[in-house]
Structure 1
Amino acid sequence: MRRFAAVLIVAVATLSLPAAAAADCPGHPDALGTFRVLAVSAATTPRVGRKHFPETLPLADKELVLTFDDGPWPTTTPRVLDALKAECVRATFFLLGRNTDAHPLLARRALAEGHSIGHHTYSHPLLSHLPLAKAEAEINRGIARDEFALTGVARSTPSTPFFRFPGFASSQPLLDRLQDRGIVVFGADVWASDWEPMSPDVQLQKLMQRIEHVGRGIVLLHDTKAQTAAMLPRLLRELKLRGYRIVHVVPASASVTN
């Protein structure tokens, strides 16, 4: 029996974040900055992102949450982190365990620079194609390797209970199990399609058209893609010019059950 109520409750706290305000961005007073923090908690697991679920995060018009999948990667993640740092923007990185095994210092850098760390399995299989036990083992292995890179302790209880399915290939049993564990499942409201080869210019144009269409929401990018790393500084400047504001999502409590 689930230890949580059956009715979905998402409690959101808006916190001030003066250190990341554009006016306080060192050497860059015109930075995009991070407008506010959204602390998310749930009596049952929130499943957010309207491309995959009925609801998304409670964001105002022109508020965006930036998320990056599949890292860390040595040739591109540093460039992504540099671009975010230059604009005092905080994002959420959904890490692959095999990449945190190979590049733990990059995972630690993302955490040290104030970004939220989520999980994305160990090796990026489509979990809905696996038997339930193997799928959950893949999730746990990814979390454990991410936690080891970040904290030195390999555990399947995540410090930040955020998870995204590779390829968004979820199944109801896995969603139920993650709900029982208090782990937030992220979908997306808009994506850059940066798994498709294109120039940074084309990607920027396509992504801005999609953002303008939805007006607010969770944006999905990949910090493993060279075109995304090249595009990101211009994307952040364009968001600033068009009046968009960045929201940083964090867990309301690190207390979750295994």
Structure 2
Amino acid sequence: MTGNPIKTLCAAAVALFATNMAAQATECARKDALGTSRVLVVDPTTSPRVGLKSFPQTLPLGDHEVVLTFDDGPWPATTSKVLKALADECVRATFFLIGKSASEHPELVRTMAAQGHTIAHHTWTHRNLKYSKPENAAVEIDKGIAAVETALHSAATTNPTTPFFRFPYFDTTPRTLDDLEKRGIAVFGADLWASDWNKMTPQQELKLLTERLTIARKGIILLHDPKAQTAAMLPAFLRYLRDNHYRVVHVVPPPPKTVADKAR
């Protein structure tokens, strides 16, 4: 064996992780389901900020590839419907959770994780951090992370299992962005959205979203699982993706670092 054997073994472990995740992503009982086409590992050290609505760069997606993301949950009445729609099509998504809601509905958070979805972070109470003092913003972020980690693992740590974060309202400050990057937490924006914070029918939302996707052709899509109109619209949107040959990409963090990794 040439080169550094530890580096070689670590690279092999990462490759095996990605291969296993890809295999899991393609498993589906329904042959005509949309499915999840591939898994994309997002490393905060190389992709600290993604999403063209907020930043100059986004994820390396091909034409007709989309990443489905949901904000502001969990909310039992609607999140359960969203999860069913995703399960029916064997699709995996990323949920940016409000810490307070996660602490009130921990069983729903664990259900999301058990179904293979990526669990990410969205503050404690959805406060706009642009208008908060840096120390208050840090508390809002950490309290949210701790609540989600407690729901998932019964451990109130501020070191997130999945180091993905999205700012409420996409409102950021240079100080908070820098703090998150130093902590190794990737900040997600979005490439397109359904504007589902506005009241509309599921049919109107579907039309708006598909028209935007026709123009963009790919990207990180922002939706909100607590919105009843989005939960009602989602099955039709997933069918649209299938019928129009879009492919769903599931984003995950890198595997945990080994002792050898940390020692280098």
Scaled by the length of structure 1, the TM-score of the pair is 0.91
Corresponding residue number in structure 1 for 2:151: 149
Residues 45 and 180 of structure 1 are in contact (CA less than 8 Å); yes or no, is this contact kept in structure 2? no
1:20 aligns with 2:22: no
Matched to 2:217, the amino acid is G
Structure number with larger C-alpha Rg:
2
Once the two structures are TM-superposed, the CA of residue 19 in structure 1 deviates from its matched residue by 3.4
- Per-residue Cα deviation, 1:214-243 (whole angstroms, up to 9, x for no partner): 111100000000000000011000000011
Residues 62 and 216 of structure 1 are in contact (CA less than 8 Å); yes or no, is this contact kept in structure 2? yes
Corresponding residue number in structure 1 for 2:100: 98
1:117 aligns with 2:119: yes
Over aligned residues, Cα RMSD in angstroms? 1.7
Corresponding residue number in structure 1 for 2:70: 68
Corresponding residue number in structure 2 for 1:218: 220
Corresponding residue number in structure 1 for 2:207: 205
Distance 2:222 2:210 in 1: 13
Corresponding residue number in structure 2 for 1:158: 160
Matched to 1:237, the amino acid is R
Corresponding residue number in structure 1 for 2:5: none
Distance 1:18 1:71 in 2: 28
Distance 1:248 1:54 in 2: 21
Distance 1:216 1:55 in 2: 14
Residues 44 and 185 of structure 2 are in contact (CA less than 8 Å); yes or no, is this contact kept in structure 1? no
Distance 2:35 2:47 in 1: 29
Superposition map of 1:1-258 within 5 A: 15=19, 17-21=22-26, 24-26=27-29, 28-43=30-45, 46-255=48-257
Residues 203 and 233 of structure 2 are in contact (CA less than 8 Å); yes or no, is this contact kept in structure 1? yes
Distance 2:132 2:112 in 1: 30
Query: Match of 1:233, SS?
Result: helix
Distance 2:47 2:236 in 1: 35
Give the direction of change, closer, same or farther, for the CA distance of 1:254–1:171 in structure 2 (3 Å limit): farther
Matched to 2:71, the amino acid is D
Distance 1:186 1:50 in 2: 10
Residues 124 and 145 of structure 2 are in contact (CA less than 8 Å); yes or no, is this contact kept in structure 1? yes
Matched to 2:23, the amino acid is P
The sequence identity of aligned pairs, in percent, is 54
Corresponding residue number in structure 1 for 2:6: none
- Per-residue Cα deviation, 1:129-183 (whole angstroms, up to 9, x for no partner): 0000000110000000000000000010000000000000110000000000000
Matched to 2:28, the amino acid is C
Query: Which structure dedicates a bigger proportion of its chain to helix?
Result: 2
Once the two structures are TM-superposed, the CA of residue 20 in structure 1 deviates from its matched residue by 3.1
Distance 2:210 2:163 in 1: 29
Distance 1:203 1:121 in 2: 26
Scaled by the length of structure 2, the TM-score of the pair is 0.89
Residues 83 and 232 of structure 1 are in contact (CA less than 8 Å); yes or no, is this contact kept in structure 2? yes
